[in-house]
Structure 1
Amino acid sequence: MNEKDKKSIIESILFAMGEPVSLGELSQALEEDSTSVKKTIQELMDEYKDAGRGVRIKQMNNRYQMCTDPQNYEFIHKLLYEKNKASLSQASLETLAIIAYKQPVTRVEIEALRGVKSSSSIQTLLDRNLIKEGGRLDAPGKPMLFETTVEFLKYSNITNIKELPSYDEFVNGIQEKIVEK
Protein backbone atom coordinates (compact mmCIF):
# COMPACT_ATOMS: atom_id res chain seq x y z
CA MET A 1 0.00 0.00 0.00
CA ASN A 2 1.41 3.40 -0.92
CA GLU A 3 1.65 6.42 1.44
CA LYS A 4 -1.19 8.28 -0.28
CA ASP A 5 -3.56 5.35 0.33
CA LYS A 6 -2.41 4.99 3.96
CA LYS A 7 -3.05 8.69 4.59
CA SER A 8 -6.48 8.46 2.99
CA ILE A 9 -7.45 5.47 5.12
CA ILE A 10 -6.19 7.09 8.34
CA GLU A 11 -8.11 10.29 7.56
CA SER A 12 -11.27 8.31 6.83
CA ILE A 13 -11.03 6.29 10.03
CA LEU A 14 -10.35 9.32 12.23
CA PHE A 15 -13.15 11.31 10.60
CA ALA A 16 -15.67 8.46 10.79
CA MET A 17 -14.85 7.52 14.39
CA GLY A 18 -15.16 11.04 15.75
CA GLU A 19 -13.34 9.96 18.91
CA PRO A 20 -9.70 9.17 19.68
CA VAL A 21 -8.37 6.03 17.98
CA SER A 22 -5.31 4.21 19.31
CA LEU A 23 -2.18 3.68 17.27
CA GLY A 24 -2.72 -0.07 17.70
CA GLU A 25 -6.21 0.11 16.23
CA LEU A 26 -4.97 2.12 13.25
CA SER A 27 -2.07 -0.29 12.72
CA GLN A 28 -4.44 -3.24 12.84
CA ALA A 29 -6.86 -1.64 10.35
CA LEU A 30 -4.04 -0.82 7.93
CA GLU A 31 -2.28 -4.13 8.53
CA GLU A 32 0.94 -2.14 9.00
CA ASP A 33 3.43 -1.95 11.87
CA SER A 34 2.88 0.84 14.41
CA THR A 35 6.17 2.59 13.60
CA SER A 36 5.14 3.00 9.96
CA VAL A 37 1.63 4.14 10.87
CA LYS A 38 2.95 6.62 13.45
CA LYS A 39 5.28 8.10 10.80
CA THR A 40 2.37 8.47 8.38
CA ILE A 41 0.20 10.12 11.04
CA GLN A 42 2.98 12.57 11.85
CA GLU A 43 3.30 13.42 8.14
CA LEU A 44 -0.46 14.04 8.00
CA MET A 45 -0.28 16.21 11.12
CA ASP A 46 2.50 18.28 9.55
CA GLU A 47 0.66 18.57 6.23
CA TYR A 48 -2.50 19.88 7.88
CA LYS A 49 -0.54 22.39 9.93
CA ASP A 50 1.71 23.56 7.08
CA ALA A 51 -1.24 24.02 4.73
CA GLY A 52 -3.08 26.18 7.27
CA ARG A 53 -6.13 23.93 7.13
CA GLY A 54 -9.02 24.24 9.56
CA VAL A 55 -8.70 20.59 10.56
CA ARG A 56 -5.93 18.95 12.54
CA ILE A 57 -5.02 15.54 13.85
CA LYS A 58 -4.36 15.72 17.57
CA GLN A 59 -2.46 13.19 19.65
CA MET A 60 -3.75 12.40 23.15
CA ASN A 61 -2.05 9.65 25.16
CA ASN A 62 -1.05 7.59 22.10
CA ARG A 63 -4.50 8.04 20.60
CA TYR A 64 -5.33 10.22 17.61
CA GLN A 65 -8.38 12.27 16.74
CA MET A 66 -9.39 14.61 13.97
CA CYS A 67 -10.27 18.02 15.40
CA THR A 68 -10.50 21.66 14.44
CA ASP A 69 -7.64 24.17 14.41
CA PRO A 70 -7.53 25.79 17.88
CA GLN A 71 -7.16 29.21 16.22
CA ASN A 72 -10.71 28.86 14.93
CA TYR A 73 -12.14 28.18 18.37
CA GLU A 74 -13.92 31.51 18.83
CA PHE A 75 -15.86 31.11 15.58
CA ILE A 76 -16.89 27.55 16.33
CA HIS A 77 -17.76 28.51 19.88
CA LYS A 78 -20.05 31.31 18.70
CA LEU A 79 -21.89 29.04 16.33
CA LEU A 80 -22.19 25.83 18.32
CA TYR A 81 -21.71 26.31 22.02
CA GLU A 82 -22.71 29.72 23.33
CA LYS A 83 -26.41 29.10 22.85
CA ASN A 84 -26.42 25.44 23.82
CA LYS A 85 -23.90 25.02 26.63
CA ALA A 86 -23.57 27.05 29.75
CA SER A 87 -20.00 27.35 30.93
CA LEU A 88 -18.86 25.43 33.97
CA SER A 89 -19.63 27.02 37.31
CA GLN A 90 -16.87 28.02 39.70
CA ALA A 91 -17.80 25.01 41.87
CA SER A 92 -17.53 22.63 38.90
CA LEU A 93 -14.17 24.11 37.87
CA GLU A 94 -12.84 23.71 41.42
CA THR A 95 -14.05 20.12 41.50
CA LEU A 96 -12.53 19.41 38.09
CA ALA A 97 -9.17 20.87 39.20
CA ILE A 98 -9.14 18.68 42.30
CA ILE A 99 -9.91 15.58 40.26
CA ALA A 100 -7.27 16.47 37.65
CA TYR A 101 -4.54 16.89 40.27
CA LYS A 102 -5.51 14.23 42.80
CA GLN A 103 -6.92 11.50 40.54
CA PRO A 104 -8.11 8.95 41.26
CA VAL A 105 -10.07 10.62 44.05
CA THR A 106 -13.31 9.94 45.94
CA ARG A 107 -16.24 12.33 46.43
CA VAL A 108 -15.44 12.48 50.17
CA GLU A 109 -11.84 13.54 49.43
CA ILE A 110 -13.08 16.21 46.99
CA GLU A 111 -15.54 17.54 49.57
CA ALA A 112 -12.86 17.57 52.27
CA LEU A 113 -10.62 19.73 50.05
CA ARG A 114 -13.43 22.06 48.94
CA GLY A 115 -15.14 22.21 52.31
CA VAL A 116 -18.60 21.86 50.75
CA LYS A 117 -20.80 19.20 49.15
CA SER A 118 -19.78 18.46 45.57
CA SER A 119 -22.40 16.00 44.32
CA SER A 120 -23.97 18.38 41.80
CA SER A 121 -20.56 19.50 40.46
CA ILE A 122 -19.50 15.88 40.07
CA GLN A 123 -22.74 15.07 38.25
CA THR A 124 -22.24 18.04 35.89
CA LEU A 125 -18.70 16.88 35.10
CA LEU A 126 -19.91 13.31 34.53
CA ASP A 127 -22.71 14.57 32.26
CA ARG A 128 -20.21 16.55 30.19
CA ASN A 129 -17.88 13.54 30.05
CA LEU A 130 -15.00 15.50 31.62
CA ILE A 131 -14.63 12.89 34.36
CA LYS A 132 -15.47 9.22 34.68
CA GLU A 133 -15.57 6.46 37.26
CA GLY A 134 -12.05 5.16 37.68
CA GLY A 135 -12.92 2.14 39.79
CA ARG A 136 -13.78 1.66 43.44
CA LEU A 137 -11.67 2.25 46.52
CA ASP A 138 -10.97 -0.89 48.54
CA ALA A 139 -12.51 0.55 51.69
CA PRO A 140 -15.82 0.22 53.56
CA GLY A 141 -18.67 1.13 51.25
CA LYS A 142 -16.41 0.79 48.19
CA PRO A 143 -16.56 4.52 47.29
CA MET A 144 -16.32 5.46 43.63
CA LEU A 145 -13.03 6.90 42.37
CA PHE A 146 -13.11 9.71 39.82
CA GLU A 147 -10.56 10.54 37.13
CA THR A 148 -10.41 12.79 34.08
CA THR A 149 -11.26 11.69 30.54
CA VAL A 150 -9.94 12.34 27.05
CA GLU A 151 -12.72 14.96 26.80
CA PHE A 152 -10.99 16.76 29.69
CA LEU A 153 -7.75 16.81 27.69
CA LYS A 154 -9.61 18.38 24.77
CA TYR A 155 -11.41 20.85 27.08
CA SER A 156 -8.06 21.83 28.62
CA ASN A 157 -6.30 21.86 25.23
CA ILE A 158 -3.54 19.54 26.42
CA THR A 159 -2.35 16.22 25.04
CA ASN A 160 -1.43 14.58 28.33
CA ILE A 161 -2.28 15.14 32.00
CA LYS A 162 1.45 15.65 32.65
CA GLU A 163 1.20 18.98 30.80
CA LEU A 164 -0.71 20.52 33.70
CA PRO A 165 1.42 22.83 35.82
CA SER A 166 2.61 21.26 39.07
CA TYR A 167 0.04 21.32 41.86
CA ASP A 168 2.14 23.82 43.84
CA GLU A 169 2.43 26.17 40.83
CA PHE A 170 -1.32 25.87 40.28
CA VAL A 171 -2.16 26.70 43.93
CA ASN A 172 0.34 29.58 44.02
CA GLY A 173 -1.13 30.99 40.80
CA ILE A 174 -4.64 30.94 42.28
CA GLN A 175 -3.43 32.55 45.51
CA GLU A 176 -1.69 35.32 43.51
CA LYS A 177 -4.91 36.03 41.61
CA ILE A 178 -6.86 36.24 44.89
CA VAL A 179 -4.32 38.72 46.30
CA GLU A 180 -4.51 40.85 43.10
CA LYS A 181 -8.29 41.27 43.51
Structure 2
Amino acid sequence: MSEGTAGAPAGAHTAADLELKPALEAVLMVVDEPATVERLARILERPARQVADVLRELADEYTLQGRGFELRHVAGGWRFYTRPAYAAAVERLVRDGQTARLTQAALETLAVVAYRQPVSRSRVSAVRGVNCDGVMRTLLQRGLVEEAGAEPETGAILYRTTNYFLERMGLRGLDELPELAPFLPEAEAIEAETQEGVPSFDPDAPDDAPGAARGSIPGTDDDDDQTEL
Protein backbone atom coordinates (compact mmCIF):
# COMPACT_ATOMS: atom_id res chain seq x y z
CA MET A 1 0.00 0.00 0.00
CA SER A 2 1.32 3.40 -0.94
CA GLU A 3 1.82 5.91 1.83
CA GLY A 4 0.92 9.56 2.08
CA THR A 5 2.29 12.36 4.19
CA ALA A 6 4.22 11.38 7.35
CA GLY A 7 3.91 7.66 6.60
CA ALA A 8 0.11 7.56 6.76
CA PRO A 9 -1.77 5.35 4.25
CA ALA A 10 -2.57 7.22 1.05
CA GLY A 11 -5.92 8.98 1.28
CA ALA A 12 -6.14 8.72 5.09
CA HIS A 13 -6.77 12.07 6.72
CA THR A 14 -8.47 11.11 9.99
CA ALA A 15 -8.73 8.04 12.21
CA ALA A 16 -12.05 7.25 10.54
CA ASP A 17 -10.27 6.90 7.17
CA LEU A 18 -7.91 4.19 8.44
CA GLU A 19 -8.46 0.48 7.94
CA LEU A 20 -9.92 -0.65 11.26
CA LYS A 21 -7.97 -3.84 11.97
CA PRO A 22 -4.44 -2.44 11.64
CA ALA A 23 -5.54 0.78 13.35
CA LEU A 24 -6.75 -1.24 16.35
CA GLU A 25 -3.49 -3.17 16.42
CA ALA A 26 -1.47 0.04 16.40
CA VAL A 27 -3.43 1.54 19.29
CA LEU A 28 -3.38 -1.66 21.35
CA MET A 29 0.40 -1.89 20.95
CA VAL A 30 0.88 1.28 23.00
CA VAL A 31 -1.82 1.17 25.69
CA ASP A 32 -0.54 0.60 29.22
CA GLU A 33 -3.82 -0.79 30.54
CA PRO A 34 -6.79 -2.66 29.02
CA ALA A 35 -8.67 -0.34 26.64
CA THR A 36 -12.46 -0.46 26.64
CA VAL A 37 -14.47 -0.84 23.46
CA GLU A 38 -15.98 2.59 24.05
CA ARG A 39 -12.57 4.23 24.32
CA LEU A 40 -11.27 2.50 21.19
CA ALA A 41 -14.42 3.44 19.28
CA ARG A 42 -14.00 7.07 20.31
CA ILE A 43 -10.32 7.13 19.30
CA LEU A 44 -10.91 5.49 15.93
CA GLU A 45 -14.21 7.25 15.27
CA ARG A 46 -16.15 4.04 14.67
CA PRO A 47 -19.34 2.51 16.08
CA ALA A 48 -18.69 0.56 19.29
CA ARG A 49 -20.40 -2.58 17.92
CA GLN A 50 -18.12 -2.59 14.87
CA VAL A 51 -15.01 -2.21 17.06
CA ALA A 52 -16.16 -5.02 19.37
CA ASP A 53 -16.70 -7.38 16.41
CA VAL A 54 -13.27 -6.64 14.94
CA LEU A 55 -11.57 -7.13 18.31
CA ARG A 56 -13.07 -10.61 18.58
CA GLU A 57 -11.99 -11.37 15.01
CA LEU A 58 -8.43 -10.32 15.78
CA ALA A 59 -8.35 -12.45 18.94
CA ASP A 60 -9.53 -15.50 16.97
CA GLU A 61 -7.03 -14.85 14.16
CA TYR A 62 -4.07 -14.70 16.54
CA THR A 63 -5.13 -17.99 18.14
CA LEU A 64 -5.59 -19.77 14.80
CA GLN A 65 -2.22 -18.48 13.55
CA GLY A 66 -0.45 -19.65 16.71
CA ARG A 67 1.06 -16.23 17.41
CA GLY A 68 3.31 -15.73 20.43
CA PHE A 69 0.89 -13.12 21.73
CA GLU A 70 -2.86 -13.00 22.21
CA LEU A 71 -5.54 -10.36 22.50
CA ARG A 72 -7.47 -10.75 25.74
CA HIS A 73 -10.60 -9.16 27.14
CA VAL A 74 -9.72 -8.49 30.78
CA ALA A 75 -10.74 -5.93 33.41
CA GLY A 76 -13.42 -4.57 31.10
CA GLY A 77 -11.02 -3.83 28.24
CA TRP A 78 -8.73 -5.30 25.58
CA ARG A 79 -4.95 -5.61 25.65
CA PHE A 80 -2.13 -7.68 24.13
CA TYR A 81 -0.51 -10.35 26.33
CA THR A 82 2.20 -12.90 25.69
CA ARG A 83 0.83 -16.41 25.18
CA PRO A 84 1.40 -18.73 28.19
CA ALA A 85 2.96 -21.38 25.95
CA TYR A 86 5.94 -19.04 25.44
CA ALA A 87 6.40 -18.09 29.08
CA ALA A 88 9.84 -19.73 29.19
CA ALA A 89 11.20 -17.31 26.59
CA VAL A 90 9.73 -14.27 28.36
CA GLU A 91 11.04 -15.46 31.71
CA ARG A 92 14.52 -15.83 30.21
CA LEU A 93 14.39 -12.22 29.00
CA VAL A 94 13.28 -10.91 32.40
CA ARG A 95 15.96 -12.86 34.25
CA ASP A 96 18.62 -11.69 31.82
CA GLY A 97 17.77 -8.08 32.65
CA GLN A 98 17.86 -8.78 36.38
CA THR A 99 21.38 -10.21 36.23
CA ALA A 100 22.84 -7.24 34.36
CA ARG A 101 26.02 -6.00 35.98
CA LEU A 102 26.22 -2.80 38.01
CA THR A 103 29.18 -0.47 37.71
CA GLN A 104 31.47 0.11 40.66
CA ALA A 105 29.98 3.59 40.97
CA ALA A 106 26.47 2.12 41.20
CA LEU A 107 27.53 -0.38 43.85
CA GLU A 108 29.18 2.35 45.93
CA THR A 109 26.09 4.55 45.67
CA LEU A 110 23.82 1.65 46.56
CA ALA A 111 25.93 0.93 49.63
CA VAL A 112 25.65 4.53 50.84
CA VAL A 113 21.87 4.46 50.42
CA ALA A 114 21.65 1.12 52.23
CA TYR A 115 23.59 2.33 55.28
CA ARG A 116 22.35 5.94 55.42
CA GLN A 117 18.71 5.58 54.37
CA PRO A 118 16.57 7.52 54.06
CA VAL A 119 19.14 9.76 52.40
CA SER A 120 19.14 12.57 49.83
CA ARG A 121 21.19 12.64 46.63
CA SER A 122 23.31 15.50 47.92
CA ARG A 123 24.22 13.48 51.01
CA VAL A 124 25.17 10.48 48.87
CA SER A 125 27.23 12.75 46.60
CA ALA A 126 28.98 14.18 49.66
CA VAL A 127 29.90 10.72 50.94
CA ARG A 128 31.20 9.52 47.57
CA GLY A 129 32.84 12.81 46.62
CA VAL A 130 31.26 12.89 43.14
CA ASN A 131 27.88 13.75 41.67
CA CYS A 132 25.67 10.64 41.88
CA ASP A 133 22.59 11.83 39.96
CA GLY A 134 23.11 9.55 36.97
CA VAL A 135 23.87 6.53 39.14
CA MET A 136 20.78 7.14 41.27
CA ARG A 137 18.63 7.16 38.14
CA THR A 138 20.09 3.79 37.19
CA LEU A 139 19.34 2.34 40.63
CA LEU A 140 15.79 3.68 40.47
CA GLN A 141 15.28 2.11 37.05
CA ARG A 142 16.62 -1.22 38.32
CA GLY A 143 14.16 -1.13 41.21
CA LEU A 144 16.93 -1.27 43.83
CA VAL A 145 16.07 2.10 45.43
CA GLU A 146 12.89 4.14 45.69
CA GLU A 147 11.73 7.55 46.86
CA ALA A 148 10.96 7.82 50.57
CA GLY A 149 9.43 11.24 51.03
CA ALA A 150 11.17 14.58 51.44
CA GLU A 151 13.63 16.01 53.94
CA PRO A 152 11.69 18.42 56.23
CA GLU A 153 14.48 21.01 56.43
CA THR A 154 15.38 21.28 52.74
CA GLY A 155 12.57 19.58 50.83
CA ALA A 156 15.13 17.32 49.11
CA ILE A 157 13.82 13.93 47.99
CA LEU A 158 14.96 11.06 50.20
CA TYR A 159 15.78 7.56 48.97
CA ARG A 160 15.79 4.10 50.49
CA THR A 161 16.45 0.55 49.33
CA THR A 162 13.59 -1.68 48.19
CA ASN A 163 12.43 -5.19 49.00
CA TYR A 164 13.92 -6.19 45.65
CA PHE A 165 17.31 -5.03 46.97
CA LEU A 166 16.93 -7.32 49.98
CA GLU A 167 15.92 -10.18 47.70
CA ARG A 168 18.95 -9.73 45.43
CA MET A 169 21.28 -9.45 48.43
CA GLY A 170 19.76 -12.49 50.14
CA LEU A 171 18.81 -10.50 53.26
CA ARG A 172 15.69 -10.84 55.39
CA GLY A 173 16.00 -7.27 56.58
CA LEU A 174 18.34 -4.29 56.79
CA ASP A 175 19.44 -5.42 60.24
CA GLU A 176 21.38 -8.21 58.50
CA LEU A 177 23.66 -5.74 56.71
CA PRO A 178 27.27 -6.15 57.92
CA GLU A 179 28.42 -3.69 60.57
CA LEU A 180 30.61 -0.91 59.18
CA ALA A 181 32.46 -0.11 62.40
CA PRO A 182 35.00 -2.97 62.23
CA PHE A 183 36.01 -1.93 58.71
CA LEU A 184 35.66 1.87 58.84
CA PRO A 185 36.39 2.99 62.41
CA GLU A 186 36.57 6.65 61.37
CA ALA A 187 33.67 6.66 58.92
CA GLU A 188 31.93 9.67 60.49
CA ALA A 189 35.09 11.77 60.44
CA ILE A 190 35.79 10.82 56.83
CA GLU A 191 32.27 11.78 55.79
CA ALA A 192 32.44 15.13 57.60
CA GLU A 193 35.75 15.94 55.94
CA THR A 194 34.43 14.89 52.52
CA GLN A 195 31.33 17.03 52.82
CA GLU A 196 33.41 20.17 53.35
CA GLY A 197 35.20 19.68 50.05
CA VAL A 198 32.27 18.72 47.86
CA PRO A 199 30.34 21.50 46.06
CA SER A 200 26.55 21.70 46.05
CA PHE A 201 24.84 19.64 43.38
CA ASP A 202 21.56 21.51 43.62
CA PRO A 203 20.58 22.20 39.99
CA ASP A 204 18.36 25.07 41.12
CA ALA A 205 21.07 26.88 43.06
CA PRO A 206 22.23 30.21 41.51
CA ASP A 207 25.67 30.26 39.95
CA ASP A 208 27.00 32.69 42.53
CA ALA A 209 25.66 30.73 45.51
CA PRO A 210 28.33 29.60 47.99
CA GLY A 211 29.65 26.18 47.04
CA ALA A 212 27.64 26.04 43.80
CA ALA A 213 29.06 23.47 41.41
CA ARG A 214 30.41 24.72 38.09
CA GLY A 215 31.05 22.53 35.09
CA SER A 216 31.18 18.74 35.11
CA ILE A 217 32.39 16.69 38.02
CA PRO A 218 35.39 14.49 37.17
CA GLY A 219 34.79 10.83 37.81
CA THR A 220 30.99 10.97 37.60
CA ASP A 221 29.60 7.60 36.45
CA ASP A 222 32.85 6.80 34.66
CA ASP A 223 33.80 3.72 36.67
CA ASP A 224 34.52 0.91 34.25
CA ASP A 225 34.81 -1.86 36.81
CA GLN A 226 31.67 -3.94 36.90
CA THR A 227 30.53 -6.32 39.57
CA GLU A 228 27.68 -8.83 39.57
CA LEU A 229 24.89 -7.90 41.97
- TM-score for both structures, normalised by structure 2: 0.38
Please state which structure has a larger fraction of its residues in helix.
Answer: 1
TM-score (norm 1): 0.47
Larger-Rg structure: 2
